[in-house]
Amino acid sequence: MRWRAVFVFAWYLAEMIRRHVGSEWWLVTQHDHALLAGELARHVGGAILPLAQETIQGIAQHDAGWQQHDSAPTLNDRGQPLDVFESPLSLGLKMWRRSSQLATTIGDYPALLVSLHSLSLSAHAAAKALPGKPTTIPELRLQFDLNKFQHAEVELQENCRRNLGMRLDIPLTLGLAHDSMDPAEQQLLFDSRWLSAMDQLSLDLCCTHAPFAALSHLTAHPGGPDLQLMVSRTGLATLCVSPWPFTTPWLDVSVPFRRIPDRSYLSREQFLEDFNTAPVEAMHLRLDPPGPLAAAG
């Protein structure tokens, strides 16, 4: 029997994850990709300490803010559906902030995890968008918005830590105490890293090519030695993950998508006509461990 995980479609449209298949684009929303990450997280186990329900909730909702962005996707400057990896930092800041705020309605621990993820994404994106000292008015404005965003996330994290009874008087790097021996800090670091890993693995499944060949800085349990998962595409709809981090012999999942023709659109209206008439389908995907199961995929 196949292990199949199917979850409710998200009907809010946002920035797309764009997958090229033959003469088509297969488009997945950010929030649906996050729900897939949460489904993957639900199956973590075996040699890995299973993730708590609050952690899984945070992983599943880490991109919930993108639902509110728009009623439909848009185009890049080549007339293609705008991919999430092409989204500008200014948009990311708004959506990451919204995701953190929405997570507070779930609970302090999921909100802390989502905020840590948002803060980390902002730091990585800013290193590319603002590689040097800002000199132009747009750069100065973006730096101001970045500072405001990061201050707000730090404040949210402090509130969550206070409510959870966690310390506020220890040195943190992007909200995490990497060298702490405190069990609560080690647990938070463990959960935060698995959020990032499930996020990346979900993107590996959804994108044309797997953008993350290695899922690094993981541990099998809080405070444990570093663990790295290697990911390889073995077919159009299959990935091999080594070592295998899940409780099932293999894992079948699905994610909602819409398919449209691979073409350069002359206008957003032309694109939306194709997009809005395309039915929502389920993209069926599979993860295999290394060995005969992967070879048979």
pLDDT value of residue 14:
47
Identify whether 166 is part of a domain: yes
Tell me what the mean pLDDT of segment 122-142 comes to: 91
Identify whether 2 is part of a domain: no
Mean pLDDT of the chain: 91
Identify whether 10 is part of a domain: no
Identify whether 11 is part of a domain: no
pLDDT digits (tens, 9 = 90+) for 204-223: 999 999 999 999 999 999 99
Residues 29, 12: Cα–Cα separation, whole Å: 8
pLDDT value of residue 6:
35
Identify whether 224 is part of a domain: yes
Token code pair at residue 73: 């996707």
Q: Name the pTM for this structure.
A: 0.90
Cβ-Cβ contacts under 8 Å for 52 (sequence gap 6 or more): 191
Split at pLDDT 50, 70, 90, the class of 295 is very low
Tell me what the mean pLDDT of segment 221-241 comes to: 97
- Characterize the bridge pairing of strands 281-288 and 238-242: parallel
Tell me what the mean pLDDT of segment 179-198 comes to: 98
Identify whether 12 is part of a domain: no
Total domains in the fold of the chain: 1
Domain that holds residue 50: 18-296
Closest to 59 in 3D by CA, of 72, 43, 78: 43
pLDDT digits (tens, 9 = 90+) for 18-35: 999 999 999 999 999 999
26 DSSP β-pair partners = 19, 259
pLDDT digits (tens, 9 = 90+) for 270-282: 999 999 899 999 9
Split at pLDDT 50, 70, 90, the class of 292 is low
pLDDT value of residue 188:
98
pLDDT value of residue 178:
95
pLDDT value of residue 68:
64
pLDDT value of residue 2:
38
Tell me what the mean pLDDT of segment 196-204 comes to: 98
Pick from 153-157, 212-216, 248-252, 264-268: least confident: 264-268
Q: Is the pLDDT of residue 45 over 50?
A: yes
Q: Is the pLDDT of residue 182 over 90?
A: yes
171 DSSP β-pair partners = none
Q: Which position has the token pair 């994108």? A: 207
Residue type for 122, please?
S
Identify whether 109 is part of a domain: yes
Q: Is the pLDDT of residue 1 over 80?
A: no
Identify whether 172 is part of a domain: yes
